Amino acid sequence: MLMTRLRANLVLPLAIMFLLTLVGCGQERNTVSAELESQVETLELRSPNCASPDACASVTIRRLVFSDRPALNDAIYAQLLEQLQGNGESDSAPLNSLEKVAQKFLEDADAVTVASAASWQLNGDAKLLAHHGNLLTVAINSYLYTGGAHGMPVSHWLNWDLSRESAVALGDVIVAGQEQAFWTLAEEAHQQWLDAQQVDGDFRHNWPFTHSEDFRLTEAGLVLRYGVYTLGPYSMGEVELTLPRDKLAGVIREPYLSATGSSGDGN
């Protein structure tokens, strides 16, 4: 039998969670509305077929579950399911629960006889990243390691309109007709990033600019996130490009642009 432990931490107002984050970061930020409450649910499994627990194939999945926000919870759950199953790139039929994904991962590890299978890891995490007005941003992270030089991290930012109870896509925040202006700003941010990395012409040719749908709003502006192997090799990690807030007037819809100056970010 697989050893399964599912625990739910005490329900905490997100305001308290933000205060804890602020202490750790040493920055002043506003707190989330007290009526938003959540609990952290954790699923942990380890393969029973290894002698040392530290060397076992393992699965750890942690996610926020918001009180009275079923649509938001469903969206977080669905994104975790997708990431933990290879973002649709797997040849296997998709599974419909985190528990099934975890169990199949451990079964696959047990079926492999090479020594590296003992340390296979599958991790998932969904945590509050930021809150601006009615816009909530949840960071959904996953990590898969099945041997070799390194694992594969994947991160996505889920933006959620609390008043409409629906996801907010990048196209929703850009002013109609200003898409080209937006991506021109993004390319400028990319060039600044390249200059900061002090890379040569070959790098710039081999790793050209591309669009990303992953974004979040901060007091500095709008941040685009790029996964590993998108704008550079694995060693450079995930890349974030910031479009300055003072250049976004008329490009980003005013309700979103105004909100970035009034609420705080999480880590």
List the beta bridge partners of residue 161: 135, 166
Question: What average pLDDT does range 75-80 have in this prediction?
Answer: 97
Q: What is the pLDDT of residue 230?
A: 97
Q: What is the pLDDT of residue 4?
A: 40
User: In the predicted model, is pLDDT for residue 56 greater than 50?
Assistant: yes
Question: What average pLDDT does range 88-109 have in this prediction?
Answer: 86
Q: What is the pLDDT of residue 116?
A: 61
Q: What is the pLDDT of residue 36?
A: 80
Q: List pLDDT tens digits, range 143-191.
A: 999 988 889 999 999 999 999 999 999 999 999 999 999 999 999 999 9
Helices 98-111, 70-84: inter-axial angle, 10-degree rounding: 10
Q: What is the pLDDT of residue 259?
A: 66
What's the pTM value of the predicted model, to 2 decimals? Answer: 0.80
Half-sphere exposure of 28 (CA within 13 A, CB side): 2
Cα–Cα nearest to 126, from 179, 80, 180: 80
Q: List pLDDT tens digits, range 228-267.
A: 999 999 999 999 999 999 999 999 999 888 766 544 454 4
Q: What is the pLDDT of residue 260?
A: 62
Q: List pLDDT tens digits, range 108-147.
A: 988 886 666 668 999 999 999 988 778 999 999 999 999 8
User: In the predicted model, is pLDDT for residue 10 greater than 70?
Assistant: no
Q: What is the pLDDT of residue 89?
A: 61
Indicate the SS3 state at residue 255: helix
Cβ–Cβ under 8 Å, residues 167 and 160: yes
pLDDT band at residue 20 using 50, 70 and 90 as cut-offs: very low
Q: How far apart are CA 169 and CA 214, in angstroms?
A: 8
Q: List pLDDT tens digits, range 202-212.
A: 999 999 999 99
Q: How far apart are CA 220 and CA 44, in angstroms?
A: 37
Q: How far apart are CA 44 and CA 125, in angstroms?
A: 12
What percentage of the chain exceeds 70 in pLDDT?
A: 78
Q: How far apart are CA 227 and CA 137, in angstroms?
A: 17
